[in-house]
Structure 1
Amino acid sequence: MTIKDLQDAVLRISDIYAREHNIDRDRDWALLKLQEELGELTAEHLRLSSRARGEGNPQAQADEAADVLGMLLIYCDHAGIDIEAAMQRKWLSWLNPQT
């Protein structure tokens, strides 16, 4: 599965979720949700590293990481960002440096 395939699937699921829960996904919704999910991942990380109350849960940490990635893909779509092209330009170009 490519990043684009994953993004398309996530966007379909987001549409279903928004329709079922009557969520208005306005201009900044995706960025705000991305921040919310990052906060939840951070909280689980802190619990797992014994720097917050409660016991951490590795499955919850993985689920929160999935939420962050999902919301990032949604944000990129809303912002008109081709994340595959951006990753190629910003990160993957290091694997094939120009001489």
Structure 2
Amino acid sequence: MLDRLGSQFETASAGYASEHGIERDPDWFVLKMQEEMGELTQAWNKFSGRGRAHGKSNGELKCLIEDETADLLGHVLLFAHYHNLDLAQAIERKWHFQVAL
């Protein structure tokens, strides 16, 4: 399941990078995770009252948190895909449960 999802993110990301002339070198993948974590943190700060909500409702801010979490997950999977990491095996090793395939 994680491999398939990683491949789907790879297809989308490679197309976007090609369209916009972005070079995705090994550093790009880890830097994008950091960028997305920053965006998620910013969204969380708005939702939790630690940042300006710019007139957005709690529902809109929750949607923003969901979107930024999806972006972060996507970039984690892209990082794993690019570096040929077996996340399912790592989850089983670190978290002691099996990933449903």
What's the TM-score once normalised by structure 1's chain length?
A: 0.87
The match for 1:77 is: 81
- 1:78 deviates by 2.1
After TM superposition, the runs of 4+ consecutive aligned structure 1 residues lying more than 2 A away are none
User: Residues 94 and 19 of structure 1: is their aligned pair in 2 closer, same or farther, counting only changes over 3 Å?
Assistant: closer
- 1:79 deviates by 2.3
d(CA) in 2 for partners of 1:21 and 1:79? 23
Deviations 1:1-21 (A, max 9, x none): x11111111111111111111
Structure 1 residue runs of 5 or longer lacking an equivalent are none
What's the TM-score once normalised by structure 2's chain length?
A: 0.85
| RCO higher in structure (CA 8 A, sep ≥6) | 2
The match for 2:33 is: 34
d(CA) in 1 for partners of 2:5 and 2:19? 21
User: Residues 94 and 70 of structure 1: is their aligned pair in 2 closer, same or farther, counting only changes over 3 Å?
Assistant: closer
d(CA) in 2 for partners of 1:17 and 1:78? 16
